[in-house]
Amino acid sequence: MQFGAAVGALLVGVESHGVIYEPPARSSFGLNLLSPSCRGGSCLWFNQGCTIGCNKTTGDSGHADNVPDCTEAEGRLEPTIKFEDKHLRTYATGEIYRVWDWVKYHPWRYPGTAPVDDPCGVAGGWITKGAKYAGTEAPPGVMQGSRGSEFPYNQSSSAKTEWVIGSEQEVAWSMNANHGGGYQYRLCPRNQPATEACFQANPLKFVGKKQWIQFGDGMDPNNRTEIDAVEIGGDKVRPENAVWRRNPVPACNSPVSGGSQSWRRAKHRHDIAYIFSMQCEGPTFKPAYEGRYGFGGAACSSEFPERRCTPQEYFEQDFDFGIVDKIEVPDVPAGDYVLSFRWDCEQTDQVWNSCADVTIKKPEDGPPTKPFSSSNTCDFCCPEKQLACSNCSQCLHEFTGACAYCWNPLPGYNPDYAPTITCLGHEAADGGAPYWRSGMEVGVGWSPGCPKCWADANSCKPFLRQAQEPTSVTV
């Protein structure tokens, strides 16, 4: 096996990666399954084939090499985060990589300059499935290549997020595969096209120099630990003078893979993953929270070798926590906004994007909503939303013909370590969604609780916005 092919093999099947979950990502469709790191499949929206400075993405599936996706003549830039900037680096930091800096042109090395197709993410990362390493397929019930910016506004009445001008608010994200790098939050008025240019014009400011690792599936503000944030800004990022924060959770200090294969060491001593990845013998940098490092639950989605994790093995890999930051709500016109989370990776040539929806109002119009409230809604089932299970309301007692779709596994990514999703057939006793979290047995399947939603006359009423639409914004 050639060396380039070998290192590529170490990233085989690295799927499900990172997402904003506070406020709830619109691509989570109101579902809590796989919280917090991939709620409702929301971690499967990203852009790939992203080299700093290039004018377009290529769909390249995260090659582990130093070959950029465009030439200097086509716009490629040189890194502003240099090899020796170890306090900002997250992958391939050892001196052995100085002569083979294979992450040199990946997005985090010049934050904000890598191109994206959609600032809210692309389902599966590209219009076709990615290669076996570092690529993936779309979430269950979503067409491959769908654009996140075109999905429905998710301010349902039961999961609404309201911020007050001038206030400090908390945002949070989590990851299922630790690709290192760093991130930023941005705004765009909802009555303007949700383009990367609009979001880059409106970066949000972080408050203070602290952030938090929060447990309880990332949702318990009473179970968090404060850590120091590592930041970069000025002329080293785009937009200039904005601030980005480094991902505070280190991956494993394993060559190339970051630990994505290391859990197999005791079982598969003769495969290429063992030879190159070895055991996860420590973090790439000192963890801000003792003992919290690694690749994450996506290590269990690898198809090489031909064996996947048991529920217990997935539980041991899974990140059951979120990364919480405080941001300043700018002085902007009251109205509805789209909030974009952008995570620029260092391990792969990928940018992970997801969007949430917020209403910003004046102080005299009342207090903000409380963060980390339950976001389990009926959106996935409601006819008004036109999502994966919206057409199943007439199929409660019909199993054939067009209704067969409602009882069969939804097309798209269904990992073995989580329950298979069907629109109907696997509800809890009350007709709602059953409880499942990592570590539990997979069982026979999982359904979003449509019968309970349809029985409640108020559950699927569309949210009617009362806020004034903003016309422009300056942050």
> From CA 475, how far away is CA 471, in angstroms rounded?
14
Handedness of CA 299, 305, 310, 313 (dihedral sign): negative
How much is the pLDDT for 66? Answer: 66
Question: In which domain, by residue range, is 132 found?
Answer: 3-361
> From CA 455, how far away is CA 434, in angstroms rounded?
17
> From CA 270, how far away is CA 187, in angstroms rounded?
49
The DSSP code for 125 is T
> Tokens 């690792």 correspond to what residue?
213
Mean pLDDT for the stretch of residues 436-452: 89
Least confident range of 16-30, 188-202, 270-284: 270-284
- Residue 413 belongs to some domain of the structure: no
- Per-residue pLDDT band at 34 (split at 50, 70, 90): confident
Mean pLDDT for the stretch of residues 77-90: 97
The domain tally of the chain equals: 1
How much is the pLDDT for 81? Answer: 98
How much is the pLDDT for 466? Answer: 35
How much is the pLDDT for 256? Answer: 77
How much is the pLDDT for 388? Answer: 93
> From CA 79, how far away is CA 98, in angstroms rounded?
14
- Residue 416 belongs to some domain of the structure: no
How much is the pLDDT for 154? Answer: 61
Q: Rounded to whole angstroms, what are the CA distances from 341 to 98, 139, 400?
A: 31, 18, 41
- Residue 380 belongs to some domain of the structure: no
- Per-residue pLDDT band at 463 (split at 50, 70, 90): very low
What percentage of the chain reaches a pLDDT higher than 70?
Answer: 84
- Residue 134 belongs to some domain of the structure: yes
How much is the pLDDT for 468? Answer: 39
> From CA 356, how far away is CA 474, in angstroms rounded?
19
> From CA 382, how far away is CA 455, in angstroms rounded?
11
- Residue 112 belongs to some domain of the structure: yes
Closest residue by Cα to residue 14 from 410, 412, 310, 304: 304
Mind listing the pLDDT tens digit for each residue in 286-310?
Answer: 998 888 999 888 877 654 444 567 7
Our CA dihedral for 359, 364, 370, 371, rounded to 10 degrees, sits at 50
- Residue 373 belongs to some domain of the structure: no
- Residue 313 belongs to some domain of the structure: yes
Coil, strand or helix at 187: strand
Mind listing the pLDDT tens digit for each residue in 340-356?
Answer: 999 999 998 999 999 99
- ∠ CA 86-8-5, nearest 5°, is 125
The count of C-alpha atoms lying within 13 angstroms of the C-alpha of 124, restricted to the half-sphere facing its C-beta, is 22
Torsion-angle region of 104 (φ positive above 0: left; ψ -120 to 50: alpha; else: beta): alpha
> From CA 192, how far away is CA 377, in angstroms rounded?
26
- Residue 423 belongs to some domain of the structure: no
Closest residue by Cα to residue 18 from 256, 153, 131, 179: 179
